[in-house]
Amino acid sequence: MGKILFAKQGGVHVLKFVGDVRVTFSPTLSDFLAGIGNSKDQKSIVIDLTETLNIDSTSLGLLVKISLRSQETLGVKPTIVSTNEDINRILHSMGFEKVFVILDRTITKCEDLSALPTQSVSESALREQVLQAHKTLMELNEKNRACFCDLVEALEKEQSEDSHNSTVRKAG
């Protein structure tokens, strides 16, 4: 059984799909989707599929919606980092290159960025986005997995913070 992990780093929100992810009956990903653009510090979204074994069609559909919402509210396409050949085949079959910046290998040196394919956004903006995504992922790796928490937990925490904030506002 798979799980979806969540971490934040310098305005980049990272979703990490681990294992065999099937969310057919789970609302967590749709909750995440609904929350995009609601927090001020959120700048971009990175989807890490490097440890994904399998991903169901419902999750894939929600990822497309996450991309659309990100483009609408944050003005950027999310980045997908995916190094598993099977997963990449599925991403390709779903036309994901149209709605994501897809990195099919992990890049460790900044010079490698020049070899990236260009997308509809300007090349420099794209390079900046990809660099940011990698920096984030690398930092998260260095700091170890403790940075990641279960997506459900993260959403619950955010919700309780929201209700706390609104109470404070009401009181003020």
Partner 1 sequence: MSVGSGAILVVSEANSTETAIVSSLENSGYLIDVVTAADRCLSIIKVKKPDLIIWSLLSRPDISVLGCIKSKYKNLPVILHADKDSMAQVVTLLNHDADDYFAGGESDSELLNQIVLRTLDNARKKEKMRILEQDQLAGLRVQQGLLPATPATLGGFEFAHFVRPSLIMSGDSVNYVQLGDGRVIFYLADVSGHGASGAIVSAIMSGLFQRLVRKFQHETTATSADMLDWINVELLPLNLEQHITMFLGILNGAQNALQYSNAAHFPAGIVSNDESTLFLELGGLPLGVCDTEYGYHDISIDKSFNLVVFSDGVLEIMSEESIKGKEMQLHLLVQSGNTDIDTLVDHLGLDEISEVPDDVALLTVVRKS
Q: Which is nearer to partner 1, 86 or 123 (CB)?
A: 86
Radius of gyration of the chain (CA): 16
Q: CA 172 to CA 62: how far, in whole Å?
A: 38
Instruction: List contacts with partner 1 (CB under 8 A).
Output: 24, 30, 56-58, 60-61, 64-65, 68, 85-86, 89-90, 92-95, 98-99
The answer to whether 9 touches 134, Cβ cutoff 8 Å, is no
Q: How far apart are CA 63 and CA 92, in angstroms?
A: 14
Closest approach, Cβ 45 to partner 1, in A, equals: 16
Separation between Cα atoms, residue 170 and residue 93, nearest integer Å: 49
Residue placing its CB nearer to partner 1 in the complex, 99 or 140: 99
Whole-number Å distance between alpha carbons of 148 and 137:
11
Given the complex with partner 1, which of 20 and 123 has the nearer CB atom? 20
Residue number with CB closer to partner 1 (42 or 54): 54
